[in-house]
Amino acid sequence: MALMKTVFAGDSITEGITGDSYLKLVQKRCPRIKAVNLGLGGDTLLGITGRLKKYLKKHDDVELLFLQAGHNDIILPSFMDLGASFRTFSLLLEKRGSVPVAECSRFGECFARQLQEIRSLYRGRFWVLTLSCVNENPDSPTDRLRREYNSQIRAAVQGTDVRLIDVGREFDLVLQDGGRDYRTRSVKDVLLDSLLAKLPNGSMSISEKRELELTIDGVHLNTRGAQLYAGLIAQAVETSEKQEDV
């Protein structure tokens, strides 16, 4: 049986270098897919969808498509208040093309427009994922903003033939009683976390030390967070396969 070419477009959570990779777990659960990882650390809605559209123009054999975008549209503007190294890092990412859409209603309009442009290039099965968390403390400014962005994502998908995987809602349910307010302190910490998380049980060890539930730093996934993602995506793939077989 031929493998289904499946594209995953997103940021560092999709890329899977920092923290645990949900995509590796999806591939184990869904052996019929051939995954193409278009995740890129630090990328924003405009950067992710721009790269995806370029890919789709060159490849007409994509059967399944998963898109998640928006974490860094929240994170990069917040870096401007965290010191020189974060500001420099943010500006370098913008120069690369990872430009944030930092105003909520504008983000929603832009998200809807990008979906239309992607749909003009690709007519296959297409899922959008909401944003998981940007600080495990639901009362933090960045995570409150994430919930507003998720409302915009849900609105953009509503009334279209694009399907929604509400990862954000599932994270909210786990963290609804309040998580720890943890933010990465330096760019160096991000790089160090990437290395330590690859050790045996590395991501969960980092999370336990920081008293975090689903992430190693408020954003990037630990084993439990990756399993949550993978379960939702695998369920979508399996349901789609059953519908195709009918």
Residues 164 and 130: beta-carbon distance below 8 Å: yes
4-245 maps to CATH 3.40.50.1110: yes
DSSP state of 221: B
Measured over the CA atoms of residue 91, residue 93, residue 95 and residue 98, the dihedral's sign is negative
Q: What gap in Å lies between CA 64 and CA 8, rounded to an integer? A: 9
Q: What gap in Å lies between CA 44 and CA 41, rounded to an integer? A: 9
Q: What pLDDT, in 10s, does the model give residues 136-176?
A: 999 999 999 999 999 999 999 999 999 999 999 999 999 98
Q: What is the mean pLDDT of residues 3-11?
A: 96
Q: Name the token pair of 24.
A: 């590796």
pTM: 0.93
| In the chain, % of residues over pLDDT 70 | 95
Q: What gap in Å lies between CA 184 and CA 90, rounded to an integer? A: 14
How far is CA 125 from each of CA 187, 217, 237, 241, rounded to the nearest angstrom? 37, 32, 10, 11
Q: What gap in Å lies between CA 140 and CA 142, rounded to an integer? A: 6
> Bridge-partner residues for 165, per DSSP?
129
pLDDT at residue number 109: 97
Measured over the CA atoms of residue 112, residue 215, residue 65 and residue 51, the dihedral's sign is positive
> Residue ranges of the domains in the chain?
4-245
